[in-house]
Amino acid sequence: MHPENIFIKDYTYELTEERIAKYPLPQRDESKLLIYKNGKIEENNYYNLDKYIPSNSLLVFNNTKVVEARLIFQKSSGSVIELFCLEPAEEYPDITTAMMQKKKEIVQLLAPEFDEQDNVLPLSDSALLAIKDKLSEMELLKTKDLFSVELAGALIGSSPTNSFKGLASSRSGVWLNLRWSPAKSMMDFTGVARYSWANNTEAKVGKDSSFLDLGVALNYQKDKFNLSLEFVSRNDYSVKKNYDRFAFVANYVLSENVIIVASIGKNFSNVDNIVSAFGVKFGVSRSRVSLSAPASR
């Protein structure tokens, strides 16, 4: 079919919200399969795919990923406009060619220049360079260190009658996390400070009724490996003792459903015992696809 004979109106139809699949099914192979065979169209499920694949077929697997290419802008009036990025422009690789809805409104937002007939004027070289400079500034931000601060608090209530009528505050706590992520590094450094205390008089005695935790953590991740090391020192004011806790955990992704885990550590205690563990985390999925003959790839 020649492009001159293709009209957008032939591909315009109403699609209601409930017909749009926004999330995958819990069982992925239960999604619908559209089949065209011998001039007929029918529906089935993906777990029956093997029934439609001839023996000795060549299967080509697509491992492409969806990128976040849809940009949403909101005007001062409250209306929403949208840009859909397609590919980098030839002249300026840092600038992406986009498909526009409400083209005039978008151009007004990005470059409000029109001629006497209200036609959009092309962007000037200075405007394109200005956009390129802004994109370069954004890329520069990615090369800088990331430092974040988290401050939080909590109040715990309890009731001997399991009802709101007898609810009373039993424990409070505040904590501070400081995280540093060096640029172009696969390591994260975290410092933590926690203070927790009992609010009622009955619980203000005994171990862990009032304590201060100070600790550091290091996390390293690359490809299929994830390594984390944590050390926390607890000053228990209630019994006037110090306890230490450390843990080292290693994860290796063996396959999509299998992760090997190894750890060694020591919990808060006045006994210097070392605990180590080795295990495997795995997931089980239902696969119903089986070809009648091995397929070449």
The SS3 assignment for 173 reads strand
Greatest Cα pair distance in the chain: 85
In the predicted model, is pLDDT for residue 290 greater than 60? no
- Label residue 107 by pLDDT band (50, 70, 90): low
**Of the spans 15-29, 42-56, 60-74, 106-120, which averages the highest pLDDT?**
42-56
pLDDT beyond 70 at 201: no
Residue type, 157: G
User: Alpha carbon of 145 to those of 133, 148, 185, 233: distances in Å?
Assistant: 21, 10, 9, 27
Segments of the chain assigned E as strands: 32-37, 40-45, 70-74, 80-88, 96-100, 146-158, 168-181, 187-198, 210-222, 225-236, 241-255, 258-266, 275-282
Would you place residue 199 in the very low, low, confident or very high pLDDT band (cuts 50, 70, 90)? confident
Q: Is the pTM of this model over 0.85?
A: no
CB under 8 Å to 49, separation ≥6 — which residues? 33, 289
Looking at per-residue pLDDT, the higher value among 253 and 86 belongs to 253
For the chain, which residues make up each domain, given as ranges? Answer: 3-52, 70-115+126-142
In this structure, of 87-91, 121-125, 162-166, 200-204, the range with the lowest mean pLDDT score is: 200-204
d(Cα 61, Cα 49) in Å, to the nearest integer? Answer: 14
User: Is residue 271 packed enough to be buried (19+ CB in 10 Å), middle (13-18) or exposed (0-12)?
Assistant: exposed
Could you tell me which of 175, 246, 171, 156 has the C-alpha nearest to residue 206?
171
Rank 86-90, 207-211, 213-217 by mean pLDDT and report only the highest. Answer: 213-217
> pLDDT of 25-45, one tens digit each?
888 888 889 998 888 999 999
Q: Which residue(s) pair with 149 in the sheet?
A: 178
* pLDDT winner (highest mean) among 6-10, 109-113, 193-197, 222-226: 193-197
Predicted pLDDT of residue 87: 67
Average pLDDT, the chain: 76
Strand bridging mode 275-282 / 40-45: unpaired
Helix (H, G, I), strand (E, B) or coil at 201: helix
Mean pLDDT of 193-212: 74
% of the chain with per-residue pLDDT over 70? 69
The pair of structure tokens assigned to 235 is 């000053």
